[in-house]
Amino acid sequence: MWSRLPLVIAMLMVAAPAAAGTLPADTTWVTTFDEEFFNWATPHVQTFEFPPAPELYDEVLLDLTIGCPGPPGDCDPWDRIGHLRVIHTNPDQTETHIEIARFITPYDITGPSSYPQTCTWRLDVTDYKPLLADSVTLRAYIESWIGGERGWLLTARFGFVHGVDPMRPYRVINLWTADFAEYGNPDSPIEDVLAPVSVEIPADAEMAKVRIVTTGHGQGNTDNCAEFCYKWHSLVAAGETFTHYLWRPDCAQNPCSPQGGTWQYPRAGWCPGDKVDPWDNDITRLITPGEPLLLDYNIQPYFNACGPHNPACVDGVTCTDCDYNYTGHTRPGFNVNAQLILYRRDLTAAPGAGEAQAPAGLRLGQNHPNPFNPTTTFYYRIAAPGAAVLTISSAGGRELLRIVRDHGAAGTYWYQWDGRDGRGRSLPSGVYFYQVESSGRRAARKMILLQ
């Protein structure tokens, strides 16, 4: 396997798309779907050759570009849900579909000359490294029903950044996968789709997080759900609850703009013409390797009075139309995809790989995950017993948190930060620096908090 690597890298090196920003020169680019034409809700499935050794890469990024076919065709002018999934074949030959990216197409972007014509999004898909090696089967989908010569051109390029992350993802487990879970209908409770699940944690797992990607769809209902309603969503892991509101208030600042249509209005977890950001929850402290973990996903209780399931609904009184008409009144629901991602130390990594080093003895690893919300973990290695001083500072250099830890032996130590300062206050999104000082030596790294 190792002997093939130089040849594969040489074959796969291509120029990175400028619109998504630059990456280090030692990045291997793999182009998969290349201006693939979508005009109907039919999945496109293809197999591509990827580098064979994911352990040689510190980071994997995905650039998705969406554009329009040339005359006489044009873009599909409506906001459509799209996703990219890996089709993974299990040892028993069954298939598991792992979603690695979700996006929503823009409204018209080819109108006036000020419109962007194409849009590119960059996603961090490092957590899916174990699935992105050798022959990889990808399933691309855009829920377009436009037909004919109009539609979308989709390009997907993967950037493999060379380096070794000592704590690497090694397994992805689907928890809940629902392309549409109806919301607010007691005859079809959403709890039936999002039922609690128990997962056996492998004995070698050292870190874990739950990644949830949810988008709300449907309008003209009570509270204008689920596209335009502000509701809380919660994850329960080992009895502890994590809660957030599924909402994107920043659609008006979407860089894929201007567009035609109502692209600037906030929505439930998405904006037209943008990637969908996951809700990540670090649950490392809640897992016990070798034992089961109970997980549950809940959404704020809701009753949709504007539907045919409600016998008390009256047209023009309860709402404009009690029946779904698939124009201004569509069934409310959520598209949910949740995964448990497990990590373990890479025992094959060369000493010092992926670390910031100070002379003779202090090593500091890159935090993971990064960017993060709400917690992240990093490690440091000291060459002698003694105190280690950990500090978190703002981008401007202001010290926010200082911790002194006494270690009775040389070795590797881990620290998990919860995004709070020394007074327990949650810090806003931004760039922060973490530093470790021991035996007169100092090392620092940068991290990004996304609230």
End-to-end CA distance of the chain: 41
Q: How many CB atoms lie within 10 A of CB 67?
A: 18
Q: Which two tokens stand for residue 92?
A: 């028993």
In this predicted structure, what is the pLDDT of residue 303? 97
The predicted pLDDT at position 91 comes to 78
Q: What percent of the chain has pLDDT over 70?
A: 90
Q: Which two tokens stand for residue 154?
A: 């989709």
Q: What pLDDT is attached to residue 354? A: 44
Model pLDDT, residue 70 = 87
Q: Pull the structure tokens for residue 223.
A: 């509270």
Q: Which fold has domain 354-449?
A: Immunoglobulin-like (2.60.40)
pLDDT of residue 57: 83
In this structure, are residues 74 and 45 in contact, taking their beta carbons and an 8 Å threshold? no
Q: What span, in angstroms and rounded, lies between the C-alpha atoms of 341 and 171? A: 6
Predicted pLDDT at 6: 32
pLDDT of residue 361: 64
CATH 3.40.50.300 given to domain 1-163: no
90 backbone φψ class: left, alpha, beta (φ>0; ψ -120 to 50): beta
- Rounded CA separation 415/411 (Å): 13
Every domain of the chain with CATH number 2.60.120.230 lies at 1-163, 166-350
pLDDT at 10: 33
Q: Among the CATH numbers 2.40.50.500, 2.60.120.230, 3.30.479.30, 3.40.50.740, which is that of 166-350?
A: 2.60.120.230
What's the confidence (pLDDT) of residue 358? 42
- Helices and strands counted in the chain (H then E): 2, 26
Q: Supply the pTM of this predicted model.
A: 0.76
Residue numbers of the chain with a pLDDT score lower than 50: 1-19, 348-360
Question: What is the spatial distance between Cα 126 and Cα 375, in angstroms, rounded to a whole number?
Answer: 17
Question: 177: closest CA among 341, 337, 295, 298?
Answer: 337
- In this prediction, residue 25 carries a pLDDT of 57
Query: Distance between CA 155 and CA 34 in Å, rounded?
Result: 4
DSSP reduced 3-state for 426? strand
**DSSP 8-state symbol, 7:** H
Tell which residue, 196, 176, 392, 169, has the closest CA to residue 282: 169
CB neighbour list of residue 44: distance below 8 Å, 6 or more residues apart: 33, 36, 38, 139, 140, 141
Residue 273 and residue 118 in contact, taking contact as beta carbons nearer than 8 Å: no
Check residue 13 and give its pLDDT.
36
Q: For residue 348, what are its two tokens? A: 């094959």
- Type of residue at 149: E
Torsion, Cα 145 149 152 153, to 10 degrees, reads: 150
Q: What is the pLDDT of residue 78?
A: 94
